[in-house]
């Protein structure tokens, strides 16, 4: 798996954010069940396209943006420069804090992980969730092989499906959005 995006990839993501931010990223952020005081993790935050909308929904909460790429994390810092409730983590490993997040979300990230990486990531994410915490993801529907692996791993890690839907995302196509709760 590549770790650092090209300048072109960052530029194209910025353009997508400018032109499709509300219809793609804000709609996902709005679907997250947040009350404003949660401790939230954006796993694979990229340049902060979803985080931009989530940070504003947490006036009494905190958002942790985690990415393995220094370039993406620097771009995310720029995107979220006006928010004071954001922590930025550069890490190739997941947070070791047990049961510290109310909500963990991934937006078009998990399909880029290999099955062996998912077998490490999903249990670690489940462990980082508080009891009754929520794990939310949106993944492209054309990645059904990976989606099936994600479903298997969520079940093996005491994450129970709460809600799911298929949605059509401008430019990106059909995607599966799922919300799991930790038992």
Say which DSSP state 61 is in.
Answer: S
- At residue 72, the 3 state secondary structure works out as helix
CATH code of 115's domain: 3.40.50.150
**pLDDT average, residue stretch 40-51:** 96
**pLDDT average, residue stretch 34-42:** 97
How far is 87 from 169, CA to CA, in rounded Å? 28
In a domain, residue 107? The reply is: yes
In a domain, residue 53? The reply is: yes
Between residues 134 and 93, which one has the greater pLDDT?
134
pLDDT at 2: 52
**pLDDT average, residue stretch 134-138:** 98
Q: Which domain holds residue 164?
A: 7-182
In a domain, residue 38? The reply is: yes
Closest CA to 53 of 37, 67, 72, 34: 34
In a domain, residue 46? The reply is: yes
Kindly report, residue by residue over 46-79, the tens digit of the pLDDT: 999 999 999 999 999 999 999 999 999 999 999 9
pLDDT at 91: 82
Kindly report, residue by residue over 83-99, the tens digit of the pLDDT: 999 999 998 766 666 88
The number of distinct structural domains making up the chain is 1
Q: What mean pLDDT is reported for the chain? A: 92
Between residues 9 and 151, which one has the greater pLDDT?
151
Phi, psi of 150 (to 5 degrees): -60, -45
Kindly report, residue by residue over 96-113, the tens digit of the pLDDT: 668 899 999 999 999 999
Residue 1: band (very low, low, confident or very high) from pLDDT cuts 50, 70, 90: very low
Residue 109 structure tokens:
């990230």
In a domain, residue 1? The reply is: no
What percent of the chain is predicted at pLDDT more than 70? 96
31-47 burial code (b ≥16 CB/10 A, e <16): bbebeeebbbbbbbbbb
How far is 45 from 86, CA to CA, in rounded Å? 12
Residue 132 has pLDDT above 90, yes or no: yes
In a domain, residue 2? The reply is: no
**pLDDT average, residue stretch 9-30:** 85
- Return the half-sphere exposure (C-beta side, CA atoms, 13 A cut-off) of residue 107: 25
Rounded alpha-carbon distances, angstroms, from residue 60 to 40, 54, 57, 99, 105: 11, 12, 9, 19, 18
Closest CA to 42 of 143, 110, 141: 110
């Amino acid at each position: 798996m590549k770790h650092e995006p090209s300048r072109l990839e960052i530029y194209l993501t910025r353009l997508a954010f400018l032109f499709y931010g509300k219809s793609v990223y804000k709609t996902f952020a709005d679907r997250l069940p947040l009350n404003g005081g949660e401790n939230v993790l954006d796993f694979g935050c990229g340049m902060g396209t979803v985080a931009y909308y989530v940070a504003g929904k947490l006036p009494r909460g905190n958002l942790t943006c985690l990415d393995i790429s220094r370039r993406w994390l620097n771009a995310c810092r720029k995107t979220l420069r006006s928010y004071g409730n954001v922590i930025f983590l550069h890490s190739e490993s997941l947070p070791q804090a047990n049961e510290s997040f109310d909500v963990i979300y991934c937006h078009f990230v998990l399909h880029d992980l290999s099955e062996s990486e998912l077998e490490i990531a999903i249990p670690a994410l489940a462990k980082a969730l508080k009891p009754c915490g929520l794990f939310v993801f949106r993944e492209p529907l054309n990645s059904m092989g990976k989606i099936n692996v994600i479903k298997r791993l969520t079940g093996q890690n005491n994450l129970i499906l709460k809600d799911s839907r298929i949605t059509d995302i401008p430019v990106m196509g059909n995607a599966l959005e799922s919300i799991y709760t930790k038992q």
